[in-house]
Structure 1
Amino acid sequence: MVSTPHLTLPELRGMAERGEIDTVIVAACDMQGRLQGKRVMPRFFLESVTSEAAEGCSYLLATDIECGTVPGYELTSWEKGYGDFIFAPDLSTLRLAPWQPGAAIILCDIELKGHKPADMSPRTMLKQQLNRLKAHGLTAWAATELEFIMFRNTYEDAWNKAYRGLTPANQYNNDYSILGTARVEPIIRRIRNAMETAGIQVENSKGECNLGQHEINFRYGPAVETCDKHVIYKEAAKEIAAQENAAITFMAKFNEREGNSCHTHLSLRNEAGDAVFLDADGHSPSKLFKQFMAGLLRHAPEIALFFAPNINSYKRFALGSFAPTALAWGMDNRTCAFRVLGHGKSIRVENRLPGGDVNPYLVLAAMIAAGLAGIEGDYAPVPLFTGNAYTADLPRVPNTLADAAKLFAESEFTHSVFGIDVVKHYTNMAKVELDAFNAAVTDWERFRSFERM
């Protein structure tokens, strides 16, 4: 048996020879934050993938959410033949996938021919910003809090019902409720234990405000590792729910009640492992923290596309909803977009803008890039906000995806930190989403207009 959930190649070989593992999931994260890839046999993985990598169609970084081929991407197209790119396995991510019998999983970086990193790949984008941070002698630690709504319907049943009349797993607000969460504990417990077995340390689970809404929280860690665990957990949670004849959604705003958030925590440390957001007295915010926060606030509108990547994302930003509408920072203030909390090494920024539909690599890449701009540019401090940010005279979150995409596309800042090719790529992603929505006829239009217009 293996001693840890992380597998070495000899351990994988031994488990395969004993018949304990017969499948290796080889996956990479796409623009939408989903795992895409292949299931391969252990012998092929050990004899070929580990030394020669794997390949997959380049359209995986150039599709809409339905995996349809769409125009406007310079990376790949029908004219370029939709060739392959490289799935380069990161052996440090090889682990058991205990929610699937006999399975292991490994995450990959996406590379172009010649093993050149694909600049548009979310995991690569985060690594690039971490390299910039490293030049300042700093590292980033992070955690994500991913909410979802659970229904007592299968995914197939939900589809056939056109997502109407679904039965939420709880019929009332069960925020922090032990009784309410007990109703779904068999599934939540299974998810928690599967993640622990996969080496993804769970801190807790709790109920949330919307009907059937829950949250599972995980131990913080280095930024890339945190994102890797996030995308594995999101995939596993959906698979486990399906196996239990249930369905969960991470969409930012399922209905008019509370949306699904993905509060993202970020802290910086120096090479000695010390927290750098505090002064030497261990209590006062440091100059570096003030610069970082000033950069985050100044550039938040320009990078909102990475915090709210879909049309539906912007419906989550509502007054008094625990989703922010104002760009401010406050100490343990849940009305602000950026809540600062913790003490000592644990002092951190909680970004309350992202919803459950985000790509975690892009969120953290954007946060680090904006904070670094404040450090490198020695931005003037932005005063701490106290009170109710919902009603204060403060800069606001962009209202729509179209607004956010325009700010992102026209920003000198995004061009300087991500490069023109990446800006064009993700601007096109937003355009594809907007074009698809603008071409659709919605239920709202039919109910409003069928008889009365």
Structure 2
Amino acid sequence: MSTPTHQAYERLRADADAGRIDEVIVAVPDLQGRLQGSRLSVDHFLGEAAQDGFGACVYLLASDVEMGTGPGYAIDAWNSGFGDFLLRPDPATLRTLPWDDRTALVLADTEWPAGHEEAGRPVGIAPRHVLRTQLDRLADHGLTAFAGTELEFLVFTDTYRDAWDRRYHALEPATRYNVDYALQGLGTLEPVVRRIRREMVRAGLTMETARAECHPGQYEIVFRYDEAMTTCDHHVLFKNGAKQIAAQEGVALTFMPKYDEGEGNSCHIHLSLRGTDGTPVLADPAADDGMSDLMRHFVAGQLACLPDFALLMAPNINSYKRLQPGAFAPTGITWGRDNRTCPVRVVGSGASLRIEHRVPGGDANPYLAVAAAVAAGLHGIENRLPLPAPHAANALADPDVPRLPTTLTEALHRWETSETAAKVFGETVVGHYAQAARTELAAFETAVTDWERVRGFERL
């Protein structure tokens, strides 16, 4: 059987012939940033799917966490008969999975199939395409984006099955107290995070740092920055693989922004720009603050768009439990130089000068969050927005700082009424992700919580 002409596919054929790989997962990131897909034999993948695409149900990009779908999305799965779109594998993302025996994984883009009125065109609301559209806009300005994501997670000694059976109550964290930067007290935590670190490196990610964090059982692994799309691809691979490794180790981990009243799980996004020739463009050694005019406009755009684009960075009800006073997460709209109390922190110098976006939590879809930051920066650049003075004090305690949206309802309203969002993302994308937020809100509004039972069972 012939092999499609691409170096990655040639390596896959060699690995298959040597008995090292016998399955390929073709996966697409969904609205939540989760990987959804199917396992294919190597022969079927190389013989058909790699060249012709692979069918998958359209509802994968129009469903909530429970895989529920319905009217209101740009893709109406019910009224279109739950048909397929095509998954087009991206050979640059092909890699073997150390935690999944003799298995490779490739990420795919989505396009409409033959017979569809938009046959051959990308599915515009797909998260990867939303990001690619913003990166293409950036390229029109002679710029390219580099990003890094810093994900935190909580590890519990309970299995996922036990956690489910107990409705996620009274779980035992893998550390007993605050172990931020600690090199001891990690005996229960270290075995699983060590395996995660090592197997992610074997899967092709480049680890930079790793350490325990504040909340009992909390840990952070930071991988090296890369071109923005590659970083987002690595991000979703990491989240998926870390959960699988945890399950194999008999423990459970979560990236949810706010598991309890303690410190939440963040996903700080570092973002810098370069010219398409690789030249850094954010720094200006001649400026008093070392920032170029382009960077000032770029940062100003972040501040201008934060209220309207918050939905793409904080997409769930739980997201806003983290963005509250006293949670060491941003609550206002301001920026500062190396100031972790601000949502936009400017850090580094010279070629490493960049922003750190501190709004997203561990639930953020990286493609959408990075797309939002790039689009906001372009808004500032294109409109030459002036940058206010940096915030030097504690922005979390300053009542004069304008506030971020405090609930998903508020973020949804800002998003779907935003002229800027409609202009840069298009009305279809705005409407689709607004429906995702409405679906999340509707599900929560019909649920009865433990808080309500404790408050009202006996005393009301």
Would you say 1:388 and 2:394 are equivalent positions? yes
Distance across 1 between alignment mates of 2:82 and 2:389:
50
1:157 Cα shift? 0.5
Would you say 1:316 and 2:308 are equivalent positions? no
**Counterpart selection for 1:126 from 131, 138, 158:** 131
Q: Is the 8 A contact 1:331 1:339 kept in 2?
A: yes
**Counterpart selection for 2:404 from 397, 414, 419:** 397
Matched to 2:34, the amino acid is R
Instruction: Please tell me the root mean square deviation across aligned C-alpha atoms, in Å.
Output: 1.2
Q: Report the counterpart of residue 209 of structure 2 in structure 1.
A: 204
Total equivalences in the alignment: 448
Deviations 1:381-419 (A, max 9, x none): 221111010122111110100000000000000000010
Q: Report the counterpart of residue 84 of structure 1 in structure 2.
A: 84
Deviations 1:54-88 (A, max 9, x none): 11000001111111123311312311112101111
Q: Report the counterpart of residue 74 of structure 2 in structure 1.
A: 74
Would you say 1:359 and 2:365 are equivalent positions? yes
1:280 Cα shift? 4.4
Q: Report the counterpart of residue 410 of structure 1 in structure 2.
A: 417
For structure 2, the 5+ residue unaligned runs are 1-5, 114-118
Distance across 2 between alignment mates of 1:180 and 1:340:
33
Q: Is the 8 A contact 1:7 1:94 kept in 2?
A: no
Q: Is the 8 A contact 1:141 1:221 kept in 2?
A: yes
Q: Is the 8 A contact 1:338 1:351 kept in 2?
A: yes
Distance across 2 between alignment mates of 1:297 and 1:384:
12
Q: Report the counterpart of residue 342 of structure 1 in structure 2.
A: 348
- Overall identity of the aligned pairs, in %: 50
Distance across 2 between alignment mates of 1:447 and 1:127:
47
Matched to 1:329, the amino acid is W
Q: Mark the CA change 1:243 to 1:7 in structure 2 (over 3 Å): closer, same or farther.
A: farther
Q: Report the counterpart of residue 10 of structure 1 in structure 2.
A: 10
Q: Report the counterpart of residue 424 of structure 1 in structure 2.
A: 431
Distance across 1 between alignment mates of 2:315 and 2:443:
14
Matched to 2:408, the amino acid is L
Could you tell me the TM-score, scaled by structure 2's length? 0.96
1:182 Cα shift? 4.2
Q: Is the 8 A contact 2:299 2:380 kept in 1?
A: yes
Q: Is the 8 A contact 1:180 1:207 kept in 2?
A: no
Q: Report the counterpart of residue 270 of structure 1 in structure 2.
A: 275
DSSP 3-state at the match of 1:88: strand
1:170 Cα shift? 0.5
Q: Report the counterpart of residue 299 of structure 1 in structure 2.
A: 305
Deviations 1:202-236 (A, max 9, x none): 11211011110001110000000000000001000
Q: Is the 8 A contact 1:181 1:206 kept in 2?
A: no
Q: Is the 8 A contact 1:27 1:108 kept in 2?
A: yes
Q: Is the 8 A contact 2:284 2:350 kept in 1?
A: no
Could you tell me the TM-score, scaled by structure 1's length? 0.97
Distance across 2 between alignment mates of 1:222 and 1:181:
33
Superposed, 1:247-258 pairs within 5 Å as 247-258=252-263
Would you say 1:153 and 2:152 are equivalent positions? no
1:7 Cα shift? 6.7
Distance across 1 between alignment mates of 2:128 and 2:286:
36
Runs of 4+, deviation exceeding 6 Å: none
Q: Is the 8 A contact 1:70 1:432 kept in 2?
A: no
1:111 Cα shift? 1.4
Deviations 1:94-143 (A, max 9, x none): 11111111011100011122221111011001110001000111000000
Matched to 2:147, the amino acid is A
Matched to 2:120, the amino acid is H
Distance across 2 between alignment mates of 1:132 and 1:100:
37
Q: Is the 8 A contact 1:293 1:382 kept in 2?
A: no
Distance across 1 between alignment mates of 2:105 and 2:7:
10
1:183 Cα shift? 3.2
Superposed, 1:50-129 pairs within 5 Å as 50-113=50-113, 114-129=119-134
Distance across 2 between alignment mates of 1:180 and 1:416:
51
Distance across 2 between alignment mates of 1:180 and 1:65:
35
Distance across 1 between alignment mates of 2:258 and 2:379:
31
